[in-house]
Chains A and B, each alone.
Chain A
Amino acid sequence: MELVTPALGLVFWMLVTFAIIFLLLKKFAWKPILKMIKAREDSIDGAIKAAEKAREEMKELQAGNERILAEARAERETMMKEARDMKDAIISEAKTKAKTEADRLVAQARETINNEKLAAITELKNQVATLSIDIAEKILKETLSSDEKQKTLVNNLMKEVTLN
């Protein structure tokens, strides 16, 4: 039975030695080791979380960029549309203006032409009248240059005049 009978001396030395190494290891080994492992794990966890966060932020940033880009594109679109509209409006306005101007000018021209024409006609008439008088004068002078001719004329005139 000796093998299964505890020996007092060995129990004593075991207790003493185990207590000593337990206390020494607890203070100088296990506590710092566990603390360091924990700290390292925490720092790794923190790093992973930070990376995750950075990635998330990156994604957000990218999404933001895309949104801004889309906005810019939309704005450009509207601006271009506005410009086009404006251009159209300007063109059509100009066209209308030009047309009115042209119309006005044509009308004015036409009036001027009419006036000119009238003036010309009047002058022509006057000149014709003057010329006619001149001619008539010259003819009269010619016709009435002698007494005989005067008498013929009178005669002719008299012949024409029918005495009713």
Chain B
Amino acid sequence: MSSKISIFSVKNFCFSLILVVFALFPAKSFAYEPVEEAVMQAEAVVADTAKADTHEESGKFNAGEMIIEHIGDSHQWHLWGDHGHGVHIPLPVILWTDKGLEIFSSSNVEHSEDIYQGTHYKYMLRHEHIEIVDDFGNVDKDATAKVKDFSITKNALTIIVSALLMLWMFLSVARAYKRREGMAPKGLQSFMEPLILFIRDDVAKTSIGEKKYMRYMPYLLTVFFFIFINNLMGLIPIFPFGSNLTGNISVCLVLAAITLIITLISGNGHYWRHIFAMPGVPIPVLIILTPIELLGIVLRPFVLMIRLFANITAGHIIALAFFSLIFIFGEKSTGAGYGVSIVSVLFTVFMGFLELLVAFLQAYVFTLLSAIYIGAAVEEGHHEHDHHVEKGHEPTHVIV
């Protein structure tokens, strides 16, 4: 379990860095222990500034708002410049309202005062939420609550871009295998082959077992490369990369949910017997144990989701926080801004290298844990009498 230790230490390191950085903020002090708390606090800052209206009016640089904006999702792809005056790529807004489908470009509601007259309602974009309004900009809360937002947002577009990138990469690798059958790998193929072999030999075979691993290889490979490629894409700060996709809770939720579903579908009698009625355990203990085991089924993918989300989001927050420092000091004096920029850039470069490691590590951990959970679900029962011994070395129980 050496890999677990290193992950936690990286995480702790990230958190301590956030702590240092955020302690320097003039506006608000943060509580830092779990990342959710930090996130909630950051959102509180957003809410505060929202009440005091947007930063365009206040004119002062707000680091918390800027960071949350960058790691969150958006209806347009911000390239450069201030909001309202900057350059954006408008993205399609797709809404399913109670009256029917509504599709329009987000450039129609780009500015905070823009009201777009759609087929069914009037719309405004407020804090990245599409809201149904009347002629004067008053929100119709009932109608808004019924709106289902299927917009191609920045993250949705990133998913599609990364999917196309993956398709191109692996279809060309597959072609290379067909063309160079039996020969040594070359080019992109030789870069991917060690990773594929790594997933096959060190993740799938060891966690699921020699007999059944092949069935789960396509999922494990897809999920590994999806996370890995998106983690790396998140580190490149230019269009069409740089969105915090793997640090988005929706994406992590879907990935973890798929792992959960595969685990549940693959679970054999042996697995379920161990959940509902652990053999060799007296019934009074089972009353306590079974709910815990049932909770464990959901808890494992939940932790999987939170781990990926927190690690990647933390990385983005750190990079942004270092850059915010430049502007915070720059507002006080231009010289201080330039001075701090050197330190900020150096730290960001350092963190960039660390994030490269984290990008691989988190993809690996997600895949490994998925494989371990699947492995536990498909594990064949041993002899009835050595259940206690067997329980001891079952990997799932060590991890969660």
Contact = CB atoms under 8 A, between A and B. Distances in A.
Interface in A34-61: 34, 36-37, 39-40, 43
B227 to A, nearest CB: 11
A10 B40 contact: no
Contact of A7 (B42, B73, B170, B193): B73
Given A21-B166, A25-B222, A39 B254 contact: no
B31 interface: no
Contacts of B370: none
A41 B244 CA distance: 39
Contact of B222 (A4, A10, A21, A28): A21
B269 to A, nearest CB: 27
A36 B181 contact: yes
Contacts of B309: 4
A162 B258 CA distance: 179
Given A13-B159, A32-B178, A6 B222 contact: no
B30 interface: no
Contacts of B94: 9
A12 to B, nearest CB: 6
A39 B163 CA distance: 28
A25 B166 contact: yes
Given A4-B36, A36-B178, A36-B181, A9 B150 contact: yes
B182 A3 contact: no
A33 B173 contact: yes
B248 interface: yes
B163 A28 contact: no
Nearest to A21: B163
Contact of B156 (A3, A4, A6, A9): A9
A38 to B, nearest CB: 9
A125 interface: no
A14 B254 contact: yes
Contacts of A7: 73, 149, 153, 250
B221 to A, nearest CB: 5
12 contacts: A1-B40, A9-B148, A10-B73, A10-B248, A11-B253, A13-B159, A17-B159, A17-B160, A18-B159, A25-B170, A26-B222, A30-B221
Interface of A: 1-15, 17-18, 20-22, 24-26, 28-34, 36-37, 39-40, 43
